[in-house]
Structure formats: structure tokens, C-alpha cells
Amino acid sequence: MDTRPIGIFDSGLGGLTAVGALVQAAPWESFVYFGDTANAPYGDKTRSELAELSGHNIRFLRSRHVKAVLVACNTSTANAMDAMTGEARGLPVVGVIRAAAQAAAPLTKTGRIAVLATAATVRSGAYERAIHALLPEAEVTAVACPRLVPLIEGGHTDPADPALRSAAEEYAAPVRANRADTVILGCTHYPIVRGAIEAALEPGTALVDSGAASVGTLLAALEARDAMGDRKSAGTRQFFCSARREAFARHGTAFLGWPVENVTEIDIRKY
């Protein structure tokens, strides 16, 4: 047994999609969440910027004595896994991309899978590699969706919001044109606007939530190391961000449906 917390990070609110799934699956686990709201969005950053930012995030979480890190950010997973593994000094580091590809593979009937993701994730080709490792013949349509994260961080999550609707329709168009039957929400922010995305896609399209998919991998990694927490106790929840603490707490609470409170703002560059 290991009762230390799990470290989880994202550029902002997106990783809360993984937090919601973790709290449901393993309510006894404690966690420390960091949202790098001062540096969001990550999706328009270069690989070297992402390695640097992700390194700060890992060092911060290490300073909180976590037992493992869940990289609840596709953009960091796609671009900075080597840098993060180095910084983690032996702590398990679990990303989101392989888990999302594994969740999508059994869902597709036609072998046509689309990935909605940030520009930096699409550019990395990480999803094509992960999907083709499982389904070599799959046709992958990867669509960069740069307008979504700024809208979500700004609180535009109502499916009727005109800016959100127009962005969702624009990004759904290539998915519909290529007749994908399965869509990976390859950015952890996107399940927050699942309603708007679903409304823009062909009815019946299967959606995969990358943050939620990664929780199974994380728990399996803990189990394998005999590092699960104490199932008889309730886990503790700590939230940190690097800017706009109040908006983070407000939007996070609205999404999760339980209070995201006592959010501490930190200067992540110090780590």
C-alpha cells in the first residue's frame, strides 16, 4: 500500500476530465492537481517549449511527494514524454495517448478513426503511431482544433454558445467527410464540451475520452507496484494552478459537479 497522492497535470481545466474519472473509479486515492493556466494553451507551443513546461510541472509534483504522475495532457504526452520521464527520477509517468488508442480500437467497425486534438499533438503524429500499432490498416483523420481550448478556459462551454458551435462545426466537417465512426477526443479539455462536439458529428459516432481512458492505465500501474492507496479511507484533493485561481475553481466546480476549492496559485517557473 502507498498512501502518497497521485500527481496530475494539464495546461488548465482539461485534466479535470481525468480527475472526474479517477474520483469515480478510486475514491480512496489522494491527488495533487496542477493546471498550468499561466501558460495555456499548450497546443500552440513548440516541442522544446513543451519539454521545458512539462519539466517544471513534473518537478513541482515531485516536490509534493507524489507516488506517480498522470500526464492528463495529450500535448505534453505527444511532445515531451522523454523529458518528463527523465525529470520523474523513477516515478511512474502515465500518459494519455496509448490508453485512448486502446479504447478506440475495439469501438471502430469501419477502421476509420478521427482524432480531434491540439495543433502540437496533431503535428507530432503520436496518435497515428499509437493507432497503427494496434490497427495497422486504420485510416486516421487528425484534425487540429486550436479554437477550442481558449473557449473552454474562458468558460464558453454551453453547447448553444455561438462561438463554440461554429468551432465544433468547423472541426467536425473533415470527420464527417472522411466518414469516421469513432472519434478520439485527443485533448483532455474536449470532453468538457462533449455536447457541442457530439451535436456537430454524425449521430451514433463513438467518442473516446482520453483523460478517462488513462485512469485505467494509471490504476493498473499502481496495482502492479503494490502502490494503491488505502481503500478504507477517503482520498484528499489538492488543487494548484499558475494563474486565474478563481476562474479555475469556478469552471472546475461547474464541470465536475463537486467543489474545486482551496485552489493555490503558484509560480511554476520556480520549480
Whether residue 76 contacts residue 14, with contact meaning beta carbons closer than 8 Å, is answered with: no
Respond yes or no: is residue 187 known to be catalytic: yes
- Alpha-carbon span 176 to 196, nearest angstrom: 15
Interface pick for ligand DGL out of 30, 54, 108, 118 (rule CB under 6 A):
118
Q: Which of 30, 57, 74, 141 binds ligand DGL (CB under 6 A)?
A: 74
Choices 79-87, 165-173, 184-192, 255-263; region in contact with ligand DGL by CB under 6 A = 184-192
Residues 6+ apart with CB under 8 A from 36: 9, 10, 11, 12, 42, 53, 56, 57, 241, 242, 268
Give the torsion sign (CA, 214, 92, 238, 186): negative
Please give the single-letter amino acid code of residue 268: I
Is residue 188 part of the contact set for ligand DGL (CB under 6 A)? yes
- Contact residue for ligand DGL among 5, 14, 92, 252 (CB under 6 A): 14
Q: Is 75 in the site for ligand DGL (CB under 6 A)?
A: yes
Closest CB to ligand DGL among 187 and 222? 187
Q: Is 73 one of the catalytic residues?
A: yes
The residue from 51, 100, 130, 187 that is catalytic is: 187
Q: Does 87 bind ligand DGL (CB under 6 A)?
A: no
| Residue numbers at the binding site for ligand DGL (CB under 6 A) | 10-11, 14, 40-43, 73-75, 118, 121, 149, 187-189
